Amino acid sequence: MKVLFRTDASVALGSGHVMRCLTLADALRKLGANCDFACRLTSGHLADVIRRQGFNILPLPDVIATEMADASATLAQLTQNYDLLIIDHYALAADYSRQLRSHFRHIMQIDDLANRSYDCDLLLDQNLVANAEQRYGKLVPVHCKVLTGPRYALLREEFYHPPEQRVSDRILIGFGGSDEQNLTSLAIDAVNKLKIPGLTADIVIGANNPWHAEIYKLTASLPNMRLHVQCNYMAKLMHQARLMLGGGGASHWERCISALPGLVVTVAENQQATTAFLDQLGACVWLGQAADMSAEFFAERLCYYLSRPALLDSMGRTAAGLIPAAAGTPLVTETIMKTLSNGHQ
């Protein structure tokens, strides 16, 4: 089985698209698939991370002006046909798929916007919104199988291992791979302002974080903080933490399966609907948008919730109830394999 992923990462785009594709690629590889990635080599790309995980890169130009130009650039790199094309990219949809269709038996789209037409056989939207079942009805072909909700969340294998022992005075800070707004530095300042005896913080940033040097300098002088760069043990940190301060996006589902209460800042418009809905359910607390944050506000919210253990326990239980233990990545790969074996479902 041959699979091609078309996805990008950059300082502006963040790393979430690439990271969830790597999760799916690793799971498919365990089932015998050979996976390649077609990616633009933009500032903040993750080509080195992809290669270190053992996957081949089909490099695309840094700047591609249109969807059709992207299709032409991808076609120029193909030296073989594939069983499956997986597209995880907000700028690509039906026009791109139609141009590549003859080189792929099946096409899968990963999305969460539901704002354009798609030409695919499978569509995955792992987010939780009030009208999830109806969002794609008129946007996909009749034969397309649509997978919606966190029961299809793409979670790395580590999140299915037995949890670590939770530590009452330990918090986790993580605002995604790039953190273009540098919320991490605000959070570090906030934790330093708290002056809570025994409180420790794990700080997680990605390899393409543009503020790496500044954050390293900040944490190096603070003995109660530990910096982790592009770590592959996020589940361990989430299982140990009492509370997480971080961004929305895919980390919602990592927190949920880890039963970890979260104070969430939305760093992109597409994160707002799901974060607001999870807040209503009691599975996290939506602090607001990135532009409105400050170290003082972070410190006040952290102090409030850390002093209310019963509230945190309730939030963690609610979050954990959103993702069945046997669902997520295994359910997605099972559906993919059935589609490849049986044709259109």
For residues 172 and 307, membership in a common domain is answered with yes
Query: For the domain that residue 102 is a member of, what is the CATH number?
Result: 3.40.50.11190
Q: Is the pLDDT higher at 208 or at 298?
A: 298
CB atoms within 10 A of CB 105: 16
For residues 49 and 83, membership in a common domain is answered with yes
For residues 120 and 196, membership in a common domain is answered with no
Of 17, 45, 89, 239, which residue is the catalytic one?
17
Q: What is the mean pLDDT of residues 231-243?
A: 94
pLDDT at residue number 343? 60
pLDDT at residue number 345? 40
For residues 337 and 293, membership in a common domain is answered with no
For residues 135 and 37, membership in a common domain is answered with yes
Tell me the C-alpha distance between 243 and 260, whole Å: 6
Query: For the domain that residue 208 is a member of, what is the CATH number?
Result: 3.40.50.2000
Q: Is the pLDDT of residue 344 over 60?
A: no
Q: Is the pLDDT of residue 103 over 80?
A: yes
For residues 67 and 132, membership in a common domain is answered with yes
For residues 16 and 98, membership in a common domain is answered with yes
User: What contacts 286, CB < 8 A, 6 or more positions away?
Assistant: 264, 266, 275, 276, 278, 279
Q: What is the mean pLDDT of residues 250-278?
A: 93
Cβ proximity of 173 and 184 under 8 Å: yes
pLDDT at residue number 201? 97
Q: What is the mean pLDDT of residues 36-57?
A: 92
State yes or no: is 17 an active-site residue: yes
156 is in an annotated binding site: yes
Lowest-pLDDT choice from 28-32, 96-100, 267-271? 267-271
pLDDT at residue number 133? 72
Q: Is the pLDDT of residue 168 over 90?
A: no
Q: What is the mean pLDDT of residues 331-339?
A: 95
Q: What is the mean pLDDT of residues 240-257?
A: 94
Q: What is the mean pLDDT of residues 222-242?
A: 94
236 CB burial (10 A radius; 0-12, 13-18, 19+): middle
Question: With bands split at pLDDT 50, 70 and 90, how would you rate the model's confidence at 92?
Answer: very high
Query: Each residue of 48-69: pLDDT tens digit?
Result: 999 999 999 999 999 999 999 9
For residues 171 and 205, membership in a common domain is answered with yes
Query: Each residue of 117-145: pLDDT tens digit?
Result: 999 999 999 988 877 778 998 999 999 99
pTM value is 0.86
Tally helices (H) and strands (E) across the chain.
Answer: 12, 13
What are 151's two structure tokens? Answer: 């029961």
Query: Scanning the structure block, which residue is given the tokens 């949809």?
Result: 93
Tell me the C-alpha distance between 37 and 47, whole Å: 9
Tell me the C-alpha distance between 111 and 99, whole Å: 19
Q: Is the pLDDT of residue 220 over 60?
A: yes
254 is in an annotated binding site: yes
For residues 299 and 200, membership in a common domain is answered with yes
What are 132's two structure tokens? Answer: 């999830």
Question: With bands split at pLDDT 50, 70 and 90, how would you rate the model's confidence at 268?
Answer: confident
For residues 83 and 131, membership in a common domain is answered with yes
For residues 24 and 45, membership in a common domain is answered with yes
Closest to 298 measured CA to CA, from 150, 208, 181: 181
Averaged pLDDT of the chain: 92
**Residues spanned by the domain of 138:** 2-155+325-342
- Give the chain's domain count: 2
Q: Is the pLDDT higher at 249 or at 118?
A: 118
Closest to 293 measured CA to CA, from 252, 261, 265: 265
